[in-house]
Amino acid sequence: MWCGGLPLGPLPQAHAAEEGGNVAILPLQVDGQLSDADRESLSSSLVDGFKRGDLNITGPADVTAAYGRASDCTNKSCYKSAAEATGARYVVRTTVGIQDRDYEVSVELFDGKSGERVANSQDSCEICGVADAAGLLSSAAATISVKLEALAKGPASLTLTSSPGGALVTLDGEIIGTTPIERAVVPGKHVLRLSKEGYIAIEREVTFVEGVSEELNLDLDKLPSRLPGRRWGYASLGIGIAALGGGVALTALHDLPHSFSCNGENVDANGECRYLFNTKWYGAAALIGGAALTTLGVAILLNTRKKTRKESKTAFGIGPGSVTLQGRF
């Protein structure tokens, strides 16, 4: 199960028995085969789950009577129209997926003024029946009711910045934007995650309190470089060049006589020197190793040069953006 964040804008301060407690429940949306009797049973369980809380409920039949397109609502405009037609502060959309005897249920709560999703509760069961699915819906509705009661006390808010900026932010597995970000959230415990390409992702469990603004500033650490530093680059490059030179020399030396004054016993019957250099394979190995070390050295130096350029741009920036205040938690 998870719940999403609230939209930006004024934070709702309504009480459950007032406007903030008015909830319009859209007709059940079913993906799969389900009889009318079973559909009615699931719908009743959903409504009963919401009635556990101190909420003013407008059931699916009344919502449809007030707004004819209620059964097909899948977008913000439709949610806002349904809320306006019923005078509700929030709209509930429920989907049930059925495959053989496997059920997946999802209950989503939308703000009637903005059409944004406020909370979401999901569950599933395998090899189960309609009664089991009805239990899932009732529990999901009760969970959403608890979130509504928390909202009635005044939602918490989150102000999040990061260094570097532009980090992707997810709340309970749901993407809510990129840093810097400021928005309201449902009070309670949530899992906050920041990620950015080239940096180590951060994941924290944060507890938000009703009416309290939580301000966080997180530093993302760079992923460790896979290549050594500049000193190793120069060393690799120098050894590689030396090995290439040695390889060329050994290759050229192959089949040459040990002494340039071959005579006497060192010369065979054909007049050829008996002792020749056999360095072909040594030369080939030196050339291969030298080429590899030279390539590695060049790669290391290029990589460190890019990193130096980026760091120098950050360090010597001019203007208000060059002064930052950072912290960790």
What is the C-alpha separation between 90 and 112, in angstroms, rounded? 5
Q: Is the pLDDT of residue 122 over 90?
A: no
How does residue 262 score in pLDDT terms, banded at 50, 70 and 90? Answer: low
Q: What would the pLDDT profile of 157-213 be if each residue is shown by its tens digit? A: 889 999 999 999 999 888 889 999 988 887 778 899 999 988 989 998 888 877 677
pLDDT of residue 30: 93
Name the architecture of domain 19-152.
Answer: 3-Layer(aba) Sandwich (3.40)
Averaged pLDDT of the chain:
79
Q: What span, in angstroms and rounded, lies between the C-alpha atoms of 175 and 167?
A: 11
Would you state the pLDDT for residue 280? 79
Task: List, as one string, the DSSP characters of 150-214.
Answer: HHHT--EEEEEEEESS--EEEETTEEEEESSEEEEE-SEEEEEEEE-TTB--EEEEEEE-TT-EE
Q: Give percent above pLDDT 70 in the chain.
A: 76
290, pLDDT greater than 70: yes
**C-beta separation of 309 from 198 below 8 A:** no
CA-CA-CA-CA dihedral for 196, 198, 200, 203, to nearest 10: 10
Residue type, 243: A
At residue 65, the pLDDT reads 94
Q: Enter the pTM of the model.
A: 0.50
d(CA 157, CA 306): 39
Q: Residue 90 class from Cβ within 10 Å (0-12 exposed, 13-18 middle, 19+ buried)?
A: buried
Q: Residue 166: count other Cβ atoms within 10 Å of its Cβ.
A: 10
Judge whether 146 and 121 are in contact, CB under 8 Å.
Answer: no
Between 117 and 212, residue with greater pLDDT? 117
DSSP characters over 19-79:
GGGEEEEPPPEEES---HHHHHHHHHHHHHHHTTSS-EEE-HHHHHHH-TTGGG--SHHHH
The pLDDT value recorded for residue 229 is: 67
pLDDT, one tens digit per residue, over 204-260 is 888 887 767 788 899 999 876 655 667 777 888 889 898 888 888 888 877 777 665
Residue closest to 192 by CA, chosen among 212, 225, 214: 214
In this predicted structure, the answer to whether residue 19 has a pLDDT above a threshold of 50 is no
CATH superfamily ID and name for 156-219: Carboxypeptidase-like, regulatory domain (2.60.40.1120)
Residue 129 phi, psi (nearest 5): -115, -175
Which amino acid belongs to residue 76?
K
Q: Vertex 56, ends 76 and 110: CA angle to 5°?
A: 15
Burial class (CB in 10 A: 0-12, 13-18, 19+), 63: buried
Residue at 81: amino acid letter: S
Instruction: Report the alpha-carbon distance of residue 212 to residue 299 in Å, rounded.
Output: 51
What is the pLDDT confidence band of residue 285, given thresholds at 50, 70 and 90?
Answer: confident
Measured CA to CA, the distance from residue 171 to residue 208 in angstroms comes to: 12
Contacts of 259 (CB under 8 A, 6+ apart): 266, 273, 275
